[in-house]
Every structure is written in C-alpha cells, then in structure tokens.
Chain A
Amino acid sequence: DAGVTQSPTHLIKTRGQHVTLRCSPISGHKSVSWYQQVLGQGPQFIFQYYEKEERGRGNFPDRFSARQFPNYSSELNVNALLLGDSALYLCASSLAGDLGYTFGSGTRLTVV
C-alpha cells in the first residue's frame, strides 16, 4: 500500500509569492493534518481536516489556509510568503489520532 504522498518534494519561491502544497493520505484514512518543521525543532501543528471539515487550527496567520477534497486528499496554501516560512511541511494521515499518525516525506519550501 502506498504511504502518505506529498508533492512537490522541494520548492523555491520568492518573498510575496503564493504556494500550494499537496497531500494524498493512506487509503481509508479520513483525517489529514499539516505540520511545519523548522530546522532543529519539532513539527508545529498547522491544521487538521476530517471528512472535509476543519477540526483544528494551530497558531499560524491567516496567510495559511487548507482544504480537504472528497477523496480525502488535501492542499495547504500559503499566501504572501515570508523568509520565515522556509521549512519542511509535513502531511500526516490517521484512522484515529490515538492510534498514531503516518507522515509523508514532506515538502521542503525555501523562500528567498
């Protein structure tokens, strides 16, 4: 079975631009979460979606938005990129949170 797949794997953007990151969860997983991981730190929660509805939002500005599609795949959008948005963006899917999460390999975003 395919794991959580994320695209693209790497991305370089200029300050002020917009970016869309994509995630496909494990088949059968209806929950998708997004995390930001800055070098040297643990991942920080951005969003969780379940059955296409937002179930949780972390402490991130409104420039960050996301959505989940009927096939449970998800997009993370970031507007007006800042240098500080440079990070590894991780997507995770789960059947139930307490059973643990399966993470994708992430998208490495560099803002210059």
Chain B
Amino acid sequence: TQLLEQSPQFLSIQEGENLTVYCNSSSVFSSLQWYRQEPGEGPVLLVTVVTGGEVKKLKRLTFQFGDARKDSSLHITAAQPGDTGLYLCAGQETSGSRLTFGEGTQLTVNP
C-alpha cells in the first residue's frame, strides 16, 4: 500500500498571510490530486497534476508536482477566511484503481 504524508496537520494563520502545505511519499503516482473538504460534505477537486515538475495556478493557489512524481505542494498567497477548510492531497496509484489520501491539513484563516 502506498502512503502519503501530509504536513502540517493543523495551520491557523491571519488573513493576508501566505502558507504552504506539503505532501510526500516514497512511491510514484500517476497523478497527484488536491481536494478541499468542508464539514459534512465530500471532498471537492481543486486540481490534478500529472507531469513531473508540473506547476498549476488557480487564482491565489499554486500547485506543484515533484520531478519524480512522488511529492507535491500547495501554496496559498494572501489567505482569506473563505480559504478555511480541510485540504487533502491524494495520489492516483499507477494501477489506476485507487486514490491514496494524506491525513489532511486543517486550515483556519482568521480575519
């Protein structure tokens, strides 16, 4: 079973600050996906990165896939209270049958 380590587990920051969430594994994934989950809801897909070294930007969010396709990071610039939520990274195993999730990063952005 492939494992994904996500850090930090909890993050509480002030509005306007920047932050980075890391997702690391010793295994290679065919893609790395980032989701955001609100309480009582299912995860919502933010982005999928497929190519090693790939960088994708979604407004104030920047996602990067490591060159070896084993790790990824999510950087948020000028965080806003609306960014509050549980951020999950997930690796699509090369067999194609499952997503392996990290433990999640609970982000709280205080006004």
- A residues near B (Cβ < 8 Å) are 4, 33, 35, 41-45, 48, 55-56, 58-59, 90, 92, 97-106, 108
CB atoms of B97 and A48 under 8 A apart: yes
Q: CB distance B41 to A97 under 8 Å?
A: no
Nearest A residue to B34, CB-CB: A100
Residues of B within 8 A of A (CB): 1, 6, 30-31, 33, 35, 40-45, 48, 50, 88, 90, 92, 95-104
Contact, CB under 8 Å: B103 / A42 = yes
The answer to whether A106 touches B30, judged by C-beta atoms less than 8 angstroms apart, is no
A105 touches B42 (CB 8 A): yes
Contact of B48 among A48, A59, A100 (CB under 8 A): A100
Cross-chain pairs A/B with CB under 8 angstroms, 9 sampled: A4-B42, A42-B6, A42-B104, A43-B43, A56-B97, A90-B43, A98-B48, A99-B48, A100-B45
